Amino acid sequence: MGDNVSNKFGYWINSYYLVPQRAITLTMNYSMNQKIIPDTTFFDKKEIYNPESNLYSEIYVEFINGFKGKFYFNRQFIEWQGIEYNHYDLFWELSVENRLAKLLTQFKIKDIGEIGEKQIAGIELGFNLSDKWKIFTRGMIVNDRAGAKHSFFGEIQYRIGGNVEVFLQYGPSWWGSYGLVNDDGFASGNGMEKIVKLILKGWF
């Protein structure tokens, strides 16, 4: 299963279908695992195997002019110490990239129907102004029962020479850098932080 987890056994099934004469790929993956040696509770000595299963369904479409879209639904079932947890996630993405710019937009509903349900939206936009000047921005919003929070990051990059670059940054660079709306750290952590950085980078 490729994750080198001890005391677990299970299986993983991957499948995909390329729609004839269409730039569409359908994907469905299923996995299941549980413990080999069970846990036991202190009082009733009941054997607990903590089974887990995951069903992932995706539609990936390539449009004209470099646009690409992705839509997936993920169902995860976890049983821990005899208590069942269900997680349903819905995800949508649209992106386009060319020589001058790159745009990525994402939206996700995490834990649909649960108390901890979250709606997360994110966007990344990058411009190549010239061979030396580049601009990158990232914005994110998350909404849940506790309220809404946001994060914004902006960066100006200037290439001084072949091996020297200068970066002027504003905002937290880490939020969204690990999968944009799939960054659980942002979804459950803090929001915007006012940070300004000037970075000089060189290599030999």
Q: Are residues 3 and 88 in the same domain?
A: yes
- The answer for residues whose C-beta is within 8 angstroms of residue 199's C-beta and 6 or more apart is 166, 167, 168, 169
Model pLDDT, residue 104 = 96
Q: Which of 69, 97, 125 is the last residue of a domain?
A: 97
Model pLDDT, residue 66 = 86
Residue with tokens 């660079």, as numbered in its chain: 173
Between CA 140 and CA 153 the distance in angstroms is: 9
Q: Are residues 51 and 143 in the same domain?
A: no
Model pLDDT, residue 4 = 67
Model confidence pLDDT, tens digit, residues 156-168 = 999 988 789 999 9
In a domain, 153, yes or no: yes
pTM of model > 0.75: yes
Q: How many domains does the chain have?
A: 2
Rounded to an integer, the average pLDDT of 33-57 is: 84
Q: Are residues 3 and 90 in the same domain?
A: yes
Residue with tokens 């601009």, as numbered in its chain: 135
Q: Are residues 85 and 131 in the same domain?
A: no
Whether residue 14 has pLDDT greater than 80: yes
Model pLDDT, residue 37 = 86
Model confidence pLDDT, tens digit, residues 47-102 = 888 999 999 999 999 998 889 999 999 999 998 877 888 999 999 999 999 888 99
Q: Which residue has better confidence, 186 or 78?
A: 78
Whether residue 173 has pLDDT greater than 70: yes
Rounded to an integer, the average pLDDT of 37-56 is: 82
pLDDT-above-70 percentage for the chain: 95
Q: Which of 97, 130, 149 is the last residue of a domain?
A: 97
Q: Are residues 143 and 70 in the same domain?
A: no
Model confidence pLDDT, tens digit, residues 117-144 = 999 999 999 999 988 999 999 999 999 8
In a domain, 50, yes or no: yes
- The answer for residues whose C-beta is within 8 angstroms of residue 202's C-beta and 6 or more apart is 163, 164, 165
Rounded to an integer, the average pLDDT of 141-162 is: 90
Q: Are residues 12 and 92 in the same domain?
A: yes
Q: Which residue has better confidence, 202 or 58?
A: 58
Residue 137, domain extent: 117-204
Model pLDDT, residue 83 = 83
Q: Are residues 87 and 133 in the same domain?
A: no
Q: Are residues 9 and 86 in the same domain?
A: yes
Model pLDDT, residue 15 = 97
SS3 (DSSP) at 130: coil
Q: Are residues 127 and 189 in the same domain?
A: yes
In a domain, 108, yes or no: no
Beta carbons within 10 angstroms of residue 110's beta carbon: 23
pLDDT-derived band at 169, boundaries 50, 70, 90: very high
In a domain, 105, yes or no: no
